[in-house]
Structure 1
Amino acid sequence: MLYALLKIWARLALWCYCGKITFRYKGGNAPCILACTHPNSFLDAIVMGAYMPRSLHFLARGDAFRKPRVASLLRAMHMIPIFRLSEGKENLQRNEETFNLSLHVLRQNGCILIFPEGICVNEHNVRPLKKGTARLSFSAWEEPGLDDLMIQPVSINYSSFTAVPKHIEVTFGEQIRKGDVNNVRELNEMLYNRLQAGMQPAATRKGHSILLVLPALLGYITQRWFYVCWRNFARKKTKNTVFYDSVVFCLLMLTYPLFVLAVTLLLVSTTGPWGWLALPLLPFTAWAYKEYRLFHTAE
């Protein structure tokens, strides 16, 4: 239930935050490992989770699961912990449980999202792949009932890692199946080439309706300050890291509904029933300003 609600919320927030999002998944319902590029921190996982028509499970850093209550919440969000050497050599043995959980998901014709580069860098290029995705794939192919497991290359392209709004292009490459490769090296080489082939500039749109000018101006006057406050806060807190865009998005996704509700209730208490008009008008004017900005110099 939590996963389904977050999926809807995140998709709506992305629609407000971004310009054009191109996402054309053509896969079936077979067990699947989504091997995805990782250029923009945890925003990559949010985009995939929000737009993927199938339910996803995510491999996440094991140190995030240290606190029991947090771990329960993360598992409800379909996250599976994976432990690296940097998180303590004593934790590496716990990856056997991660492998078993992953196999359980795949046996249910599930879908697991993995970032085979193993690191996030804000660049429009594919970095050398780690061996974890390939090893998991070959191990899974050896399991009964998983002969039809497919490896789906996914390349995510952003028009910008800092501008708001931005365009996002998600490209699905040719799938890799059992028998296409013979060893880890061959799988990594094929996967790398198909990920690199999917790297392309995110599509853009030109032109906007003149009817948006007035509501865009109202959105600028009434709400740009709200965005600028969070933008400046995120810049300070994420300086010299890859987390800026993801942090800005999450801050807005969490606080903007509260902002709209608070302003609406304030207006209702001071102006009466007419104040309820703010509930749809604030988001609409913010959206109009976003659409207007798509065709002007981004920040």
Structure 2
Amino acid sequence: MLYDTIRVFSPFLLKFFIKRIEFTGLENIPKSGAVLLASNHSNSFFDAVVLCGHYERRIWSLARGDVFKKPLAKKILSSLYMMPMYRLSEGKEYLGDNDETFRKCIELFRQGEIVLIFSEGLCIHQTKLLPLKKGTGRLAQKAWDEQIDVTVVPVTITYNNFNKFGKIVKVNIGEALQQEELPKEAGEGLFLKEFNRILSEKLTRLLEAPLPKPSFWKNPFYYIGLIVNFPVNLLATSLSKRVTRGSVFFDSIAGGIVMFILPLYWILLALLLYFLI
């Protein structure tokens, strides 16, 4: 329910946080059937919000495992269709949990669902592609080995900034990576090497696309909101900077505050105008 609510309202509410957002290649994501979205990862949870909130099908996301350690956080993230993926830096004792996450992904593919994985394996504010980890290739290989027809679709999300309002966002969705492009009957090492080489080339080309130019008529809500929503914008900026302290979570926190506080703020404004008039 929480996921569906956010997916319905976030595209509109984010218009007051994002100056302009542009999607290209949406037709490359199949309307049905199993899909593995392989994306770059430069802006923490906000990357998933941008993708999941602007696509009609439900998307399951793999997220950094350490944020699932607290029971309340795990419950909330799970309700948003997020699954944990642990790294060695988060504790060797948690790595075994990744097997359960992979089993869940394979089951989701059998059900014809979409899974989003961030192929770089970590989040850093950057505009260039980082070396890819092996998780995306392993997940695709496992699905194909089990005769699951999963479509691997490369996705890039590019931002003009990571720490303030009025950002420009470009989402490029490329043509699928085909199983036929990979060496047949190859060992795991060769398969993963070739998989990452092909995927890296596709993602790099997508990242090279220029950002769109903003204008009032492309998104008048943002420009009007600068005046009307000034208190909320100021609150979101100051709180996010204080909480995140220069980390990669500024947009995740600030954007979340905007999406949850703006409706309440508008209700208060409406009541104020009602009693004044």
Taking structure 2 as the reference length, the TM-score comes to 0.86
- What residue number does 2:120 align with? 117
Which residue of the partner structure matches residue 5 of structure 1? 5
Q: Could you tell me which amino acid in structure 2 is paired with residue 178 of structure 1?
A: Q
Q: Does 1:50 align with 2:53?
A: yes
Task: State the match for 2:157 in structure 1.
Answer: 156
> Alignment partner for residue 202 of structure 1, among 206, 211, 224?
211
Q: Is the 8 A contact 2:164 2:237 kept in 1?
A: no
RMSD: 2.2
How many residues end up aligned between the 2 structures?
A: 263
Distance 2:243 2:82 in 1: 25
1:152-231 to 2 correspondence within 5 Å? Answer: 152-182=153-183, 183-199=191-207, 200-206=209-215, 216=224, 222-231=228-237
Question: What CA distance in whole angstroms lies between the structure 2 residues aligned with 1:153 and 1:39?
Answer: 15
Given the alignment, which residue of 104, 109, 118 partners 1:106?
109
**Aligned-residue offset at 1:43:** 1.0
The correspondence for 1:136, drawn from 135, 139, 144, is 139
Please give the secondary structure, in 1, of the residue aligned with 2:124.
coil
C-alpha displacement of 1:34: 0.4
Alignment of 1:4-43 (within 5 A): 4-24=4-24, 25-26=26-27, 27-28=29-30, 29-43=32-46
State the 1:235 CA deviation: 2.2
- How big is the shift at 1:207? 6.2
Deviation at 1:137, TM superposition (A): 1.1
Q: 1:25-69: CA deviations, max 9, x gaps?
A: 112123111001112221111000011222100112223333444
Q: Which residue of 2 aligns with 1:242?
A: 248
Greater gyration radius: 1
Does structure 2 conserve the Cα–Cα contact (< 8 Å) formed by 1:149 and 1:177?
A: no
C-alpha separation in 2, matches of 1:45 and 1:131: 20
In 1: Cα distance, 2:229 partner to 2:143 partner:
50
Residue 121 of structure 1 and its aligned partner are, at CA, apart by: 1.8
Q: SS in structure 1 opposite 2:180? A: coil
Q: Structure with the greater relative contact order (CA < 8 A, sep ≥ 6): 1 or 2?
A: 2
Contact persistence 1:10–1:50 (CA under 8 A) = yes
Shift in Å, 1:162:
3.2
Residue type at the aligned position of 1:201: P
TM-score normalised to structure 1 length: 0.80
Judged with a 3 Å threshold, the aligned counterparts in structure 2 of structure 1 residues 43 and 220 are, in CA distance, closer, same or farther, namely: closer
Q: 1:220 to 1:49 in 2, by over 3 A?
A: closer
Instruction: Indicate yes or no: 2:271 matched with 1:265.
Output: yes
Name the stretch that deviates more: 99-108 or 161-170.
161-170
Residues 62, 82 of structure 2: 8 Å contact kept:
yes
- Distance (Å, rounded) in 2 between the aligned partners of 1:193 and 1:6: 33
Shift in Å, 1:71:
2.6
Q: 2:63 aligns with which of 57, 60, 63?
A: 60
In structure 1, C-alpha distance between the alignment counterparts of 2:231 and 2:110, rounded to whole Å? 49
Q: Could you list the runs of 4 or more consecutive aligned residues of structure 1 that deviate by over 4 angstroms after TM superposition?
A: 206-209, 219-222
Counterpart residue identity of residue 151, structure 1 = V
Distance 1:33 1:197 in 2: 19
Q: Is the 8 A contact 2:232 2:261 kept in 1?
A: no
Q: Where in structure 1 are there 5+ consecutive unaligned residues?
A: 275-299
- Identify the residue that residue 282 of structure 1 maps to in structure 2: none
Q: Report if the CA contact (8 A) 2:168-2:214 is conserved.
A: no
Choose 71-80 or 247-256, whichever is displaced more.
Answer: 71-80
Which one-letter code corresponds to 2:210 in the other structure? P
1:13 partner letter: L
The 3 A distance-change label for structure 1 pair 220 and 75 is closer
- Whether contact under 8 Å (1:58, 1:112) holds in the other structure is yes
